[in-house]
Amino acid sequence: MDRIRIVGGNPLNGVIPISGAKNAALPLMIASLLTDRTVTLENLPRLADVSLLVRILSNHGVDYSIDGRRHGEDPDSGQTVHMTAREIVDTTAPYELVSRMRASFWVLAPLLARCGQARVSLPGGCAIGTRPVDLLLMAMERLGAEIDIDAGYVVARAPGGLRGAEIVFPKVTVGGTHIALMAASLARGTTVIHNAAREPEVGDLADLLVKMGAKVKGAGSPVIEVEGVARLGGAKHRVLPDRIEAGTYAMATAMTGGDVLLEGARAEHLQAALDALIEAGAHVEDTPQGLRVSRNGNGLQAVDIATAPFPGFPTDLQAQFMALMTHASGVSRITETIFENRFMHVQELARLGAHIRLEGDTAIVEGVPALKGAPVMATDLRASVSLVIAALAAEGESMIQRVYHLDRGFEALERKLSRCGADITRISSGG
């Protein structure tokens, strides 16, 4: 199993190109099931989750091709993938595939909308909480689907097709909004989604659906209206830049000091996180090329944050911000309101010398003058990169185990950081 070795203490200076967003790419890829025409996605990140979803969609009959590299192309630039589901050959998504990536459960919506039936394994729990699918199933039932649970599978039927309806989510759900959008695009009549998620990735999916011929109004607001159409066509779409990757490298720059241009990053996609960074002592400049983040010799200041749905502070940046606060002057309070069990990185940060105690859904972080390198173990995707941030600023060597979590969500992490001066090396399982 691969490990990452980091010798801390080097400030980051240079340019980091921001990859296409994983959280946008996955629903965009799944939307290819809605049409028998080709959907072309540009700037698709080279990630383990993307490769796995390609396999899952192939199981349903999606043909795909990937453009080869072009002369002079940056090796870390996104790839272009063409996906065509001329015929759905299997409406079952088996447990052995769905269990490996939770987002693959969303194939339920396009399979049901296009074929009138779907049999999809329940995804089960995961490292950061149960994340139930009840709201997703409620949305499908509101659109006229008959839902049964049989031996760990959701069996959904809509023999007469889906019908437009009012969907009222009792709480904001990104996954529920994604599948409601996809299903409603082929439903008869008009669907109105209330308390819809406002995340940029939801807007990106809506943009693709509109290019395919869907009629969507209000994406990015709490109320989205979808007028169903009989069929959707092909489209070409560029995946938006990854705001979580941008926020992660912004925090790494603030942690280590230095000056980094996050090429392609968009301030409007992570303003709450940028506000917290500025309050902590970093300088952030929005430029035509992207976000420039820097911190001179001044120390970091403790800042309190609470995670919230967009446009609030992203839960996917909570672990990274906690790593930053371990090195700040004073005491910060970090409250997690989205997922339970999302403080598993606390024990590993403590191995690096962090002072953190937990009180329910809040972590109280007392900043320390210096962290010390140590062997640590990643527990999930965002927790693993928080350990990278801490190790970059720690004195001495850190060894991060189970880095396959990083490969699920961060494209070319070691290359991007080492180009900016980090002493970071991947050690293969055979090395």
In this prediction, residue 234 has a pLDDT band, given cuts at 50, 70 and 90, of very high
Same domain, 167 and 285: no
Across 160-172, average pLDDT = 96
Domain boundary among 211, 238, 265: 238
Asked if 420 is an active-site residue, the reply is no
**Which one is predicted more confidently, 307 or 296?**
307
Q: What percent of the chain has pLDDT over 90?
A: 84
Q: Which of the following is catalytic: 126, 344, 368, 427?
A: 126
For residue 177, give every residue at least 6 positions away whose Cβ sits within 8 Å of its Cβ, in sequence order, or none.
169, 193, 196, 197, 202, 224
Listed range (101-105, 130-134, 304-308, 311-315) with the worst mean pLDDT:
130-134
pLDDT of 71? 65
Residue 402 CB contacts under 8 Å (≥ 6 apart), including other chains: 1, 377, 378, 379, 384
| Cβ-Cβ contacts under 8 Å for 193 (sequence gap 6 or more) | 139, 167, 169, 177, 180, 181, 184, 223, 224, 225, 226
pTM as predicted: 0.94
Same domain, 159 and 183: yes
Helix spans in 212-265 (H): 243-256
Asked whether the predicted pLDDT for residue 304 surpasses 90, the reply is yes
Q: From CA 386, how far away is CA 366, in angstroms rounded?
A: 16
Are residues 212 and 73 part of one domain?
A: yes
Rounded to whole angstroms, how far apart are CA atoms 286 and 264?
10
Residues 297 and 377 both lie in one domain: yes
Range 282-288 contact pairs with CB under 8 angstroms and sequence separation of 24 or more:
282/250, 282/253, 282/254, 284/250, 287/261
Q: Which of 238, 261, 283 is the last residue of a domain?
A: 238
**Binding-site residues for UDP-N-acetyl-alpha-D-glucosamine:** 102, 131-135, 316, 338
252 shares its domain with 213: no
Alpha-carbon gap, residue 354 to 16, rounded angstroms: 27
Average pLDDT in the chain: 93
Tokens of 291: 């976000």
pLDDT above 90: residue 87: yes
- CATH number for the domain spanning 91: value is 3.65.10.10
> End-to-end CA distance of the chain, in Å?
10
Same domain for 120 and 174, yes or no, is: yes
CA–CA gap between residue 120 and residue 241 (Å, rounded):
30
In a shared domain, residues 319 and 371: yes
Same domain, 177 and 193: yes
What's the confidence (pLDDT) of residue 339? 79
DSSP string computed for 366-404: E--S--B--EEE--SHHHHHHHHHHHHHSBSEEEEE-TH
Residues 317-366 have pLDDT tens digits of 999 999 999 999 999 999 999 877 778 899 999 999 999 999 999 999 99
Closest CA to 243 of 49, 24, 37: 24
Residues 115 and 156 in one domain: yes
The verdict on 201 and 261 lying in the same domain is no
- Whether residue 128 is predicted with pLDDT greater than 80 in this model: the reply is no
- Binding residue ranges: 22-23, 102, 131-135, 316, 338
In tens, the pLDDT along 379-403 reads 877 778 999 999 999 999 999 998 8
- State the pLDDT at residue 127: 42
> Are 173 and 290 found together in one domain?
no
The Cα-based distances of 361 to 22, 49, 86, 314 in angstroms read: 27, 29, 47, 15
Residue 129, domain extent: 24-238
102-125 pLDDT per residue, tens: 889 999 999 999 999 999 998 854
Q: State whether residue 126 is helix, strand or coil.
A: strand
Contacting residues for 83 by C-beta, under 8 A, at least 6 apart: 29, 32, 38, 39, 40, 41, 57, 62, 63, 64
Q: Which residues are annotated as a binding site for phosphoenolpyruvate?
A: 22-23
Answer with the one of 238, 254, 288 that is the final residue of a domain. 238
The answer to whether residues 172 and 274 belong to one domain is no
Q: What's the structural domain count of the chain?
A: 2
Rounded distance, CA 100 to CA 420, Å? 33
